[in-house]
Structure 1
């Protein structure tokens, strides 16, 4: 990369680029991708993250043609999903039965016997009694799911980390690795975790980890971030973030040693594995090596 290009990029990142040069930059083929990277990286919270070095390394290695191709391929996929989800059909796999499984890299949407709507996130599973639903209104959840409960209907979502009781509401539950996160988007839900019970209402999110309440604050979100193709993390161990990326994108990543004391907070794109991995890796002074279509490895930056 030429020095003038590096200086121009630095000025753009600091919002100091003259209007004429900014207009020129906006005409470049991969400007949308650069904007996306800038947006997500601004929200990351990890110690000692050298954003200037990350952007320079990333842009020195990028191939405009390949980036544009990947971006538009993903964009078309997302457009198709949104169109189908809004009524023409469904981009999710629709199934019926007492067990619903969302494999890595896919979501599964279905209706419960009372017409409540459930969307399972990648790498998740729900079991329930369809035939005895009226007398046994309980679901067993492994992983993460979004629920839109039919008006006046009530049931319980049972996880290894706790039980969520609901009545005519919309909420998201994620239970993995000794942690449970619950966000209420409408109505109210009751969460029972070990010997603790807490009720949250619309616009609240909480999380228990290792028997401790670690998150309890308002949220302006109208639905789970993963429904909108974003992956949101708050005070999450980096290894758990990595496992979530593997499930969401159905990819393999080599074993890598990540810090156990630093917690990760931020948003990562849910529609572009290359950008998501590069942002995450840069936070821990790693670089991404793409070994195949779904195969990646991390290496230490010299």
Structure 2
């Protein structure tokens, strides 16, 4: 059969003689079956909008980088993150300090993890770490406090002025602006001041005023007077006495024409301000008057 018979047949262009000759070929019957089958086929419907949307979706998928994690690897990642958070929380909690603060005209009693007792005077702060207490019985004091230390390993109180070290005893520490004083009521206390340690047996006082060590006699009584609602002083500059009055009575103090460096020896009440004012002014030969919420101390 000539090569163009099939095309001419499909286009119905064969002559009678060519068609007769084409029908005699072996391929003719096959071409007829193919043609009949193709006539029964229907072209699928075409939706242009759906086709466009499908094309856009394929482009988005091709442009997006998808990272697939193995389920076990994902579990390990989550577990590692949780472990980091828990470890951080543990170290944070172990470095977190307890801070106990007293305001003016306020005292607080604190029981430490080893059952040692501390009583904070007004306007003071005590800091310690409960989590590391078994390894280090260390506290920091700013202000004044009376300690009853349970017997055990070394107990250390750090202040801006000096460090106090004991094993088990009772003592009082005052660390205010210009004053550093340690009174030992029981046992033995080691006081380190300016790099030098002084052993302080019971019944002795270590006192520093304005950077100068002041020899002082034995304390009166077995406890500091402020535990009994009184503030006592022996040869202390008047300016520090008035500052303590301000803390104990929560009153603002001002001064006029008085010598704050004159020494004061005496006691005033921490609960009765009128009595306290007379106890301060009479021996100091000064006067006072109230000006609103303030107290003015003034000279003649």
- In which range does the TM-score fall when normalised by the shorter chain? 0.5 to 0.7
- The verdict on how the C-alpha distance between 1:212 and 1:288 changes in structure 2, with shifts beyond 3 A counting, is closer
Offset of residue 286 of structure 1: 2.6
Counterpart CA distance in 2 for 1:185 and 1:245 is 24
Q: 1:102 touches 1:124 (CA, 8 Å); kept in 2?
A: yes
Q: 1:206 touches 1:217 (CA, 8 Å); kept in 2?
A: no
User: Which residue is equivalent to 1:238?
Assistant: 238
Offset of residue 296 of structure 1: 2.1
Q: 1:185 touches 1:223 (CA, 8 Å); kept in 2?
A: yes
User: Which residue is equivalent to 1:179?
Assistant: 179
Q: May I ask how many residue pairs the two structures share in their alignment?
A: 204
Counterpart CA distance in 2 for 1:178 and 1:267 is 19
Offset of residue 98 of structure 1: 0.5
TM-score scaled by length of structure 1? 0.63
Alignment RMSD: 1.9
User: Which residue is equivalent to 2:130?
Assistant: 130
Aligned with 1:245: secondary structure?
A: helix
Offset of residue 188 of structure 1: 1.0
User: Which residue is equivalent to 1:35?
Assistant: none
- Render the CA deviation track for 1:191-233: whole Å, top value 9, x for unaligned: 0000321111121112023443203432341101100111111
Q: After superposing the two structures, state which structure 1 stretch, 111-120 or 177-186, moved more.
A: 177-186
User: Which residue is equivalent to 1:227?
Assistant: 227
Say yes or no: does 1:277 pair with 2:277: yes
Counterpart CA distance in 1 for 2:220 and 2:235 is 18
User: Which residue is equivalent to 2:294?
Assistant: 295
- The verdict on how the C-alpha distance between 1:281 and 1:141 changes in structure 2, with shifts beyond 3 A counting, is same
Q: 1:105 touches 1:247 (CA, 8 Å); kept in 2?
A: yes
Counterpart CA distance in 2 for 1:238 and 1:255 is 11
Structure 2 alignment gaps of length 5 or more: 1-96
- The verdict on how the C-alpha distance between 1:297 and 1:212 changes in structure 2, with shifts beyond 3 A counting, is closer
Aligned with 2:156: secondary structure?
A: strand
Offset of residue 261 of structure 1: 4.1
User: Which contiguous aligned blocks of 4+ residues in structure 1 show a shift greater than 4 angstroms?
Assistant: none
Counterpart CA distance in 2 for 1:106 and 1:232 is 17
TM-score scaled by length of structure 2? 0.63
Structure 1 alignment gaps of length 5 or more: 1-96
- The verdict on how the C-alpha distance between 1:103 and 1:261 changes in structure 2, with shifts beyond 3 A counting, is closer
- Render the CA deviation track for 1:34-61: whole Å, top value 9, x for unaligned: xxxxxxxxxxxxxxxxxxxxxxxxxxxx
Q: 2:256 touches 2:299 (CA, 8 Å); kept in 1?
A: no
Counterpart CA distance in 1 for 2:231 and 2:176 is 15
User: Which residue is equivalent to 2:214?
Assistant: 214
User: Which residue is equivalent to 1:200?
Assistant: 200
Q: 2:238 touches 2:261 (CA, 8 Å); kept in 1?
A: no
Counterpart CA distance in 2 for 1:257 and 1:192 is 38
Say yes or no: does 1:267 pair with 2:262: no
Q: 1:258 touches 1:284 (CA, 8 Å); kept in 2?
A: no
Say yes or no: does 1:286 pair with 2:268: no
User: Which residue is equivalent to 2:105?
Assistant: 105
